[in-house]
Structure 1
Amino acid sequence: MRDESKHRIRRRRVLLALAGVLVAWLVVDKALAVIAPEPTVGHWRSQEGFEAYRAAYDDVMATLPEPARAHDVATEYGTVRVYEWAATETGERAGETEEERTDAEEETASGERLPVVLLPGIRSGAPMWGENLLHWIGDRTLYAMDAIGDAGMSVQSVPFTSFDDQAAWVEQVLSGLELERAHVVGHSFGAAVAATHTLHHPGRVASLTLLEPVMVLRGLPASVYLWSSLLLLPAPQSWKDRALAEIGGVTVEEVRERTPMSVMIDEGSQHYAALAPTPRTLSDEEWGSISVPVRVDIADDHSLAGGEEAAKRARDLGKGPVTVWPGTSHSLPMQAAEELGPELEAYWTEHDR
């Protein structure tokens, strides 16, 4: 129990990093829209900053199962780094029982298992899926990417002019990987990208899974913007620690703890200048035009997706299943990895057609 308690604390610290970076980025973006309206590309502020980030990135990647290959896919906006974990012939996973293995083989024999594409939250990149990958590797081919215009190994060369450009580069990556259809999963900002991509390119998407999707169902609460404004001011570090604690739903003591993932996120936040349009809330008509299966998973504590109100809107729109997960915050994919593993696999299998 003690080890599990420590693991929960580590997940909460990653939550803090993800939530704090996200809201601070959204506030910065609005400020830059006024100060510097001309679009520019995301970039590293210095070579030294990139090297510090790369060291932290490599540390986290070393904790993930080794991918079968890495792709650098060219798009009109730049080059996107994608990691691939190929399905095994039997779909066998570590620790799988004989009964589970037989069921998996029967499912594979009855129809093709479509690949899964994972879109990350701000500054977290492909490494954020480490705890989730363990539950899916072997079952089907998985692709996790570093978002273009954000910290990671992707390189942006052409500015974004609207959030719809995010849908364009995702579509070009899937085409470049020769994925005719795939299950698309996004977390946080990545979920907003995934929803917008599906809106414009539904034929490529077999199913859509949105984990704590920001802004596409409901805007961020005003209190989040108020606390995040402290992160942009020359305020004492103690004030910023308090702001991060309020945003993330953790204690100030937890703010000051460090993990490999939070170090990577911090390095990316400090050294990478991400200049991209923010997501927008999709209209009822836009949601209604999305005919592919849509699953929505929301946190019940310090949700940045809109909590129960976002869940209610998703249900009213006829999307589902819609689940509000007890005891979770914005780092839902990490906090609920054990439960989401089999649930999402069953959901994808249901829609493998």
Structure 2
Amino acid sequence: MAVGGFTSTAARERFVAAYDEAMAELPAPAATDDVETSFGTVRTYRFGPAEVGPPLVLLPGTASSTPVWADNLPSLLRIGLPVVTVDLLGEPGLSEQTRAITGPADQARWLGETLDGLGLSGVHLLGLSFGGWSAANLAMHRPDLLASLTLLDPAGTVGRIGVKAVLFSLVATLPLPKRVQQANLSWIAGGARAEEHAVGRMIEAGMRGYRRAQPFPTYPTDAQLRAITAPALVVIAGRSIIHHPGRAAARAGLIPNATVELWPDASHALNGEFPDRVADRVAALVAAA
């Protein structure tokens, strides 16, 4: 399998310009670290205090990276813990993949090596969409690293990826006119217009200029979900096009220590739609854990 990367120097420059514009909407990070792993260099940022306990670690969705958390960081930082964000390997961001990622074990390995390289354990891991799959996958392979697990409308984890999501992914990879790509992003985000927001412009630049080389997420078995031991929060978006919301919420109940919530008014972009509600739920989980 090929290694992910930008299609040209010009494509990378366009993406980095959009990335920097979107990063300007975040609080200034207290630290920026590039962590060497077996599969490439992983870009991470730390926000907030350094010495008050294990951090919240945030994993974005596919075709996304750290700036997607712009709306969430102010309320998450009020929980009082450091917040660490990760640009996923094999996705458009400032991480640089150097070796093919072939399946769930590889995904867990590079992410586990990233946390090990930062000297972190007992973290409160939060993942959005494909980041939710990545978080659950790490919980299955490296439970020693987690104190709690939050999954925000996780893709391919508790509900099978549906036809609408496959169509979105197909359109995202084709060299279609810009207006078509913008309409595609608006569809998955519940009608929000990507071009009106710095994060949306960054995601669009990544989709147009980055060649992904990720394996399709392996759907966890019932036994794997039942084996997750960390206290968990699973939020399913009622207007999600990723999976069937009702069936996904029901299957999330297989996770033994999970609180499962179905938010009828949320789209797949629920982190940006309801940042305070997300932070309130995460704060309660952290306190209980």
- The reply to whether TM is greater than 0.5 is yes
Residue deviations 1:276-322 (CA, integer Å, cap 9, x gap) = 11212111111111111121001011342431111011124444210
How far does residue 192 in structure 1 lie from its aligned partner after superposition? 0.4
Q: Which residue of structure 2 lines up, in the alignment, with residue 22 of structure 1? A: none
**In structure 2, distance between residues paired with 1:236 and 1:219:** 29
Residue 153 (structure 1) aligned with residue 153 (structure 2): no
Q: Which residue of structure 2 lines up, in the alignment, with residue 43 of structure 1? A: 5
Tell me: CA distance 1:76–1:307, structure 2 relative to 1, closer, same or farther (3 Å): same
The secondary structure found in structure 1 opposite 2:148 is: strand
**In structure 2, distance between residues paired with 1:321 and 1:55:** 39
How far does residue 82 in structure 1 lie from its aligned partner after superposition? 0.4
Alignment of 1:1-353 (within 5 A): 39-87=1-49, 113-137=53-77, 139-226=80-167, 229=170, 246-250=187-191, 255=193, 257-351=195-289
Structure 2: which amino acid aligns with 1:286? Q
Tell me: CA distance 1:316–1:194, structure 2 relative to 1, closer, same or farther (3 Å): closer
Tell me: CA distance 1:349–1:50, structure 2 relative to 1, closer, same or farther (3 Å): same
TM-score by length of 2: 0.91
Contact 1:188 1:305 in 2 (8 A): no
How far does residue 143 in structure 1 lie from its aligned partner after superposition? 0.4
Number of equivalent positions:
288
Unpaired stretches in structure 1, ≥5 consecutive residues: 1-38, 90-111
Contact 2:172 2:207 in 1 (8 A): no
Contact 2:35 2:42 in 1 (8 A): yes
TM-score by length of 1: 0.75
Which structure carries more relative contact order (alpha carbon 8 Å, separation 6+)?
A: 1
Tell me: CA distance 1:243–1:346, structure 2 relative to 1, closer, same or farther (3 Å): closer
Q: Percent identity?
A: 33
Provide the alpha-carbon RMSD of the alignment: 2.3
**In structure 1, distance between residues paired with 2:283 and 2:55:** 11
Q: Which has the larger radius of gyration?
A: 1
Structure 2: which amino acid aligns with 1:297? V
Contact 2:90 2:97 in 1 (8 A): yes
The secondary structure found in structure 1 opposite 2:32 is: strand
The secondary structure found in structure 1 opposite 2:253 is: helix
* Larger helix share, 1 or 2: 1
How far does residue 76 in structure 1 lie from its aligned partner after superposition? 0.6
How far does residue 166 in structure 1 lie from its aligned partner after superposition? 1.1
**In structure 1, distance between residues paired with 2:278 and 2:252:** 19
**In structure 2, distance between residues paired with 1:143 and 1:256:** 25
**In structure 1, distance between residues paired with 2:49 and 2:266:** 30
